[in-house]
Structure 1
Amino acid sequence: MKIVCIGAGPAGLYLAISAKLRDAGHDVTVIERDPPGATYGWGVGYGENLLDTLYRNDKESAERIRAESTLWQEQVIAMRGDEKAYLGGYGFSINRAPMLEILAERATGMGVKLDYERAVEDLSELSDADLVVVADGANSRIRQRYSDEFGTSVDHGRNPYIWLGTDKVFDMFTYDFEETPEGWIWFHAYPSSTEVSTFVVECQEPTWRGLGLDRLDAGQSMRLLERIFARPLEGGSLISQSRGKPASWQRFTQVFNQTWRHGNAILIGDAAHTTHFTIGSGTRLAMLDAIVLADKLFDHDNLATALKEFDEEGHTNLRRLQATARSSMAWYEHIDRYIDRNVVDFCYAMACRHGGQPPWRYLRHVANQNFLVRKGRRLAAAGGRRFQAHRRGEAWR
């Protein structure tokens, strides 16, 4: 089968890898409008569940991704200066650029052709392909071109946010809420490597306008944010440059398509669906899409049947997660309803923003504020990580 993927992000590259793994006879090309190495954003976060899946699907690329990744342990929420509360858990993160380099090298080694600096504006340009996989992100030009056929609806969140980096390396997944004369502004940050952390700033629109962030240039905005977050940054600097230009304020793009297929074209990843960054599932879903689509292509000789199953099952499986993502986004858009609480109760409200919890979970949350309890949970989590790593054949780190 001749397969063309539009977009050399995690979705497109991993589909190419996954399709080749199942049938090396596929003729696969990945087309990308940007040059090699040109990417946006900072860190990509993921958990054990994705790592397990990557090891099962392609151990070679999974080992390299894990080797480039950084571990974070626990989550800390800070507000009003020194008030802090803690949540458990751990996760991994990797800078987007080395992740894409790993996937590109793996794909090339399997015989996938990578065609950089080529823009595709219309499906008619790829008339010789048996299958066109549209994986060019939330702002997909192909999806926009055929929005009626896909039944596309796009709307935007209310809160402005900006995706930055910092040379302050956080060892925990860190949330910090700072009160200004114009209202509250906050960030969440996590280590992307041993040298930098991802740093996402968000606020409500009146605060954004009141602080002048709608008018300041990139340098002025960075200096203002560094002053606001001087305490948690501890002398660190914010980094705006990404993809050769300063980061810009955005509003989250919510993408929904009634169908992901049109003829022999199929949408995957953010081109097909988006979930709010506060639940951190975008890359995971993109790579899972790639695996599931490759499985469907392998299981069915008839392309139309494979695409139909992928489309229908994907919509069904994604419905609950998208609802969760919308609830998470709405919680931060109405954060003034919760911000007057003490930090422990505020932290619990944030942790439960996806839905109700039994009363005993609050008691466990209060107990978790004790240092010895957290230390015990860290030791237990380390044991769990060791077991998981051994089970999937990973060297313990």
Structure 2
Amino acid sequence: MKVACVGGGPAGLYLSILLKRQDPSHDVTVHERDPEGSTYGWGVTYWQGLLDRLRVCDPESAAAIEEHSVRWNQGVAHVRDLSTRQPGDEGHGIGRHKLLELLADRARTLGVRLEFEDEITPDTLPDADLIVAGDGVHSALRTHHTAHFGAELVPGRNSYVWLGTTKVFDSFTFAFVETGHGWVWCYGYPFSAEQSTCVIECAPETRDGLGLEAADGLARVEKLFAHVLDGHPLVGRDDDGATSWLTFRTLTNRTWHRDNLVLLGDAAHTTHYSIGAGTTLALEDAIALADALRESDGIPRALARYERERKAALLSLQSAARYSAQWYENLNRYIHLPPERMFALLGQRHSPLLPYVPPQLYYRLDRAAGQLEALRRFKRWLGPKLARGAHARALGTRK
């Protein structure tokens, strides 16, 4: 099979790896419009479940990714001059540049052709049995067939900017700062021994009131978060010190394939960055598409199966992402709680019930449910022991 992957992001590169592992005779080329080594973003996050899947699919690339990742198992929230720290699931961070480098090296080793500075347009499609549109949320290949794919972009309300810093956080860090124009907050996490990602978010009226899009916007943000940066600078993409603020847009598509063209990763869907699932979903798309191509009878059936399975898998995550984004858009509902309670509800922000239950009541109900579950686990553990004890006593009585 001859395959052309348009876009050299994690999804396209990983799909090329999986296809060559399945059958070295596949002719696979990845076409990337930008020069090699140039990429946006800082670090990306993933969780243990993804790493376990990667080990099954391709142990070599999984080992390389794990080796170059950093880990944390705690979260900390700073609200005004108060802080709270809580244990959590183990998270992993890796630089986006490093991740792409590792995947590109692995793909080359397997015989994939990587063509950089090679922009593919709807008028210059390569001759291939399968064309994979992994060219991002602004996919030119998808846009060319807008009516067929039925793409819908829904903008969120808040503004955000993606930054880096030389401050290496020891855990996933949240910081909420109150200003005269409203609240500003950040999500920070390490992705190497030298750097962390720092995403800044606020309402658009807060951004404008504080002048955060001005030429010295980066310096203004640094000042707001000096207490968590410990004197370290923030680093943006713009050399002049300005910051490029964005509004996140959630992308959905009615269908994911047309003839021999199929959407992958951000070209097919996006989920709000606050749940940290973008890279995971891109890699899982690649796994599902490779499996469908291997196990289905012909490309049309494979693409139908891939779309069906991935759409079903995304339903709960897309819902969680919507509620997560809305939690931050309605921050004033939660921010005045004691920090430990606010942080607990931050962890519950994916809940469809939380927006409709008073926060203090939801917190008490959640705590009570947790205690009941702990009691249930204790009873399940204790039950067999009591039964064995009763059985032993019964034997002793018979003697």
TM-score, normalised with respect to structure 2: 0.87
Point out which structure has higher relative CO (alpha carbons under 8 A, 6+ apart): 1
Structure-2 change in CA distance of 1:245 and 1:313 (3 Å): farther
How far apart, in 2, do the equivalents of 1:247 and 1:319 lie?
33
Q: What does residue range 54-93 of structure 1 map to in structure 2 within 5 Å?
A: 54-93=54-93
Does residue 223 (structure 1) correspond to residue 222 (structure 2)? The answer is: no
Tell me if structure 2 keeps the 8 A contact 1:5–1:134: yes
How far apart, in 2, do the equivalents of 1:269 and 1:13 lie?
11
Which residue in 2 is equivalent to 1:191?
A: 190
How far apart, in 1, do the equivalents of 2:243 and 2:109 lie?
33
How far apart, in 1, do the equivalents of 2:344 and 2:69 lie?
29
How far apart, in 1, do the equivalents of 2:239 and 2:261 lie?
28
Which residue in 2 is equivalent to 1:335?
A: 331
Does residue 270 (structure 1) correspond to residue 275 (structure 2)? The answer is: no
Q: Which amino acid aligns with 1:102?
A: L
- Unaligned stretches of 5+ residues in structure 2: 354-361, 372-399
Which residue in 2 is equivalent to 1:4?
A: 4
Which residue in 1 is equivalent to 2:245?
A: 249
Structure-2 change in CA distance of 1:6 and 1:246 (3 Å): farther
Which residue in 2 is equivalent to 1:45?
A: 45
Q: Deviations over 1:113-157 (max 9, x none)?
A: 1111011120x5225211001111112122122211111111211
Aligned residues: CA RMSD: 2.0
Q: Which amino acid aligns with 2:235?
A: I
Q: Deviations over 1:146-195 (max 9, x none)?
A: 21111111121110000000001001100000111111100010001000
Cα deviation, residue 86, structure 1: 2.5
Q: Percent identity over the alignment?
A: 43
- Unaligned stretches of 5+ residues in structure 1: 367-397
How far apart, in 2, do the equivalents of 1:244 and 1:277 lie?
26
Please, which of 279, 285, 291 is the counterpart of residue 287 of structure 2? 291
How far apart, in 2, do the equivalents of 1:359 and 1:314 lie?
36
Tell me if structure 2 keeps the 8 A contact 1:39–1:242: no
* Partner secondary structure for residue 341 of structure 1: coil
Structure-2 change in CA distance of 1:137 and 1:244 (3 Å): farther
Q: Which amino acid aligns with 1:150?
A: F
How far apart, in 2, do the equivalents of 1:139 and 1:262 lie?
17
Which residue in 1 is equivalent to 2:310?
A: 314
TM-score, normalised with respect to structure 1: 0.87
Which residue in 2 is equivalent to 1:362?
A: 367
Q: Deviations over 1:302-360 (max 9, x none)?
A: 11000011111211221121111111111111111111211111112211111158967
Tell me if structure 2 keeps the 8 A contact 1:269–1:285: yes
Tell me if structure 1 keeps the 8 A contact 2:48–2:90: no
Structure-2 change in CA distance of 1:94 and 1:247 (3 Å): farther
Tell me if structure 2 keeps the 8 A contact 1:79–1:178: yes
Tell me if structure 2 keeps the 8 A contact 1:276–1:329: yes
Q: Which amino acid aligns with 2:181?
A: E
Tell me if structure 2 keeps the 8 A contact 1:32–1:118: yes
Tell me if structure 1 keeps the 8 A contact 2:3–2:29: yes
Does residue 324 (structure 1) correspond to residue 324 (structure 2)? The answer is: no
Cα deviation, residue 246, structure 1: 6.6
